[in-house]
Amino acid sequence: MTATENDTPARGSSGPDARLLQHHLVAPGTWCIDTGLYRPGHTACYLIADGAELAFIDSGSANNVPGLLTLLSELDCHPEQVRYVMPTHVHLDHAGGAGALMAACPNATLVTHPRGTPHLIDPARLQAGATAVYGEAEFQRTFGNLVPVPAERVQAAEHEQTFTLGSRRIRFADTPGHANHHGCFLDERSGLWFTGDTFGLSYREFDNDGQPLMLATTTPVAFDPDAWLSSLDDLLAAMPTGMCLTHYGRVDHPVQLAGQLRSNILAHAEIALAEEANGEDGRAERLQHAVAQLLLDLAQAHQPAIDRAKAHELLALDIELNAQGLHIWLKRRAKAAAQATP
């Protein structure tokens, strides 16, 4: 059976925690799905349907996989039709549910960046590291268990490699900058890039007269502004019709928006470099304060209808993670400088 293009009300459940996830079309045969992680409108994954074949790009967490399976049923599709699960990178808001989704889709192949495949085949280190940060109870509440994917069902994608889905071709691009194991996927039919975090984040609450606010996400641990700017060049070279962000949804006019994102990447780098001559004492707090000032000032300038307290509520997690990412970038720079000193 094939997917229809109509959103329909829930008719059933794939398990006790399954709920029909909010979803909408972003192109014919392509749905943006709200995984519900953190808050509505924060974290998406995408479903592409062509003929009898399906692909998920990103997965959200293991906790939302029952909802994804319910959605397949609502679209008159079956897990056996899923040909690919394609995480853009292994950060848990993007790939935490990949193993559980693969376990439910017996004919699927997992396709991701070569640097990411070992962590999805054996996610023990990912789970241990995240549990140490969040605590066991909070980790389970937010992400659920990470399920290993059998190595024989995993394919490491090479830059510019294409994958056939029905009559479509999906092209992979190696796009470091946010993470060194980050890749993006281009649906050559629709001209849409599925960008994970490479094209930044843009929450719909900050849209003003249809114009999105584009912000960088410098989440630990591999922020690299030079590589990131080069990755944006690679994405735009394909002359895309739009960008499908994990955080959140489709945005159009990518060339125009890329300028805004480039400026924000460089602004984050400038915040960090201004700290480079200072000592470690108090650095984390100074970085967080500076990142908060940057993002909240931009948010209020772009969408004055949202007051500063509400903007801070919407961006609180990003402020914290961006500051942590800049702190780690400075440590990496200091280590590299020390190693280069005779």
- Return contacts of 19-23, CB within 8 angstroms, 24+ apart: 19/66, 19/67, 19/70, 20/67, 20/70, 20/71, 20/74, 21/64, 21/67, 21/68, 21/70, 21/71, 23/47, 23/71
Q: 276, 313, 275: which is closest to 295 by C-alpha? A: 313
* 150 and 209, same domain (yes or no): no
Q: What is the pLDDT of residues 19-72, one digit of tens each?
A: 789 999 999 999 999 999 999 999 999 999 999 999 999 999 999 999 999 999
Burial of 256 (0-12, 13-18, 19+ CB in 10 A): exposed
Strand, helix or coil at 189? coil
* 88 and 143, same domain (yes or no): yes
Q: What is the pLDDT of residues 275-326, one digit of tens each?
A: 998 989 999 999 999 999 999 999 999 999 999 999 999 999 999 999 999 9
CATH number at residue 72: 3.60.15.10
Q: For all residues of the chain together, what is the average pLDDT?
A: 92
Domain-terminating residue out of 90, 122, 156: 156
Instruction: Give the position of tokens 């500051």.
Output: 323
Burial of 131 (0-12, 13-18, 19+ CB in 10 A): middle
* 100 and 217, same domain (yes or no): no
Tell me if 57 is assigned to some domain.
yes
Angle between helices 308-340 and 254-275 (to 10 degrees): 60
* 323 and 222, same domain (yes or no): yes
Tell me if 78 is assigned to some domain.
yes
5 and 25 Cβ atoms separated by less than 8 Å: yes
* 22 and 140, same domain (yes or no): yes
Tell me if 182 is assigned to some domain.
no
Single-letter code of the amino acid located at 50: D
* 213 and 92, same domain (yes or no): no
pLDDT computed for residue 129 by the predictor: 78
186 token code pair = 């281009």
Q: In what order do the strands lie in the sheet with 249-252?
A: 162-165, 168-174, 183-187, 192-196, 242-245, 249-252
pLDDT computed for residue 17 by the predictor: 53
Q: 77, 80, 50: which is closest to 169 by C-alpha? A: 50
* 99 and 26, same domain (yes or no): yes
* DSSP per-residue string spanning 163-181: EEETTEEEEEEE--SS-TT
Query: How many separate domains does the chain show?
Result: 2
Domain-terminating residue out of 103, 133, 156: 156
Predicted TM-score of the model (pTM)? 0.92
Tell me if 4 is assigned to some domain.
yes
Domain-terminating residue out of 156, 180, 215: 156
* 145 and 233, same domain (yes or no): no
Instruction: Give the position of tokens 């030079």.
Output: 226
Tell me if 177 is assigned to some domain.
no
Q: Taking the chain, what is the end-to-end CA distance rounded to the nearest angstrom?
A: 66
Tell me if 68 is assigned to some domain.
yes
Q: Are strands 154-156 and 109-112 parallel, antiparallel or unpaired?
A: parallel
* 24 and 145, same domain (yes or no): yes
* 137 and 205, same domain (yes or no): no
* 15 and 144, same domain (yes or no): yes
Q: What is the pLDDT of residues 87-141, one digit of tens each?
A: 999 999 999 999 999 999 999 999 999 999 999 999 988 888 778 777 888 888 8
Strand, helix or coil at 249? strand
Q: What is the pLDDT of residues 3-17, one digit of tens each?
A: 433 332 222 333 335
* 83 and 151, same domain (yes or no): yes
pLDDT computed for residue 338 by the predictor: 86
**In this model, does residue 1 exceed pLDDT 70?**
no
32 and 249 Cβ atoms separated by less than 8 Å: yes
Tell me if 147 is assigned to some domain.
yes
Q: 147, 76, 68, 155: which is closest to 108 by C-alpha? A: 155
Tell me if 61 is assigned to some domain.
yes
**Domain region containing 287:** 199-239+251-336
Q: How many secondary structure helices (H) and strands (E) does the chain include?
A: 10, 13
H or E stretch covering 47: strand 44-50
Q: What is the pLDDT of residues 228-285, one digit of tens each?
A: 999 999 999 999 999 999 999 999 999 999 999 999 999 999 999 999 989 899 999 9
pLDDT computed for residue 11 by the predictor: 26
**In this model, does residue 169 exceed pLDDT 50?**
yes
CA distance 82 to 78: 8
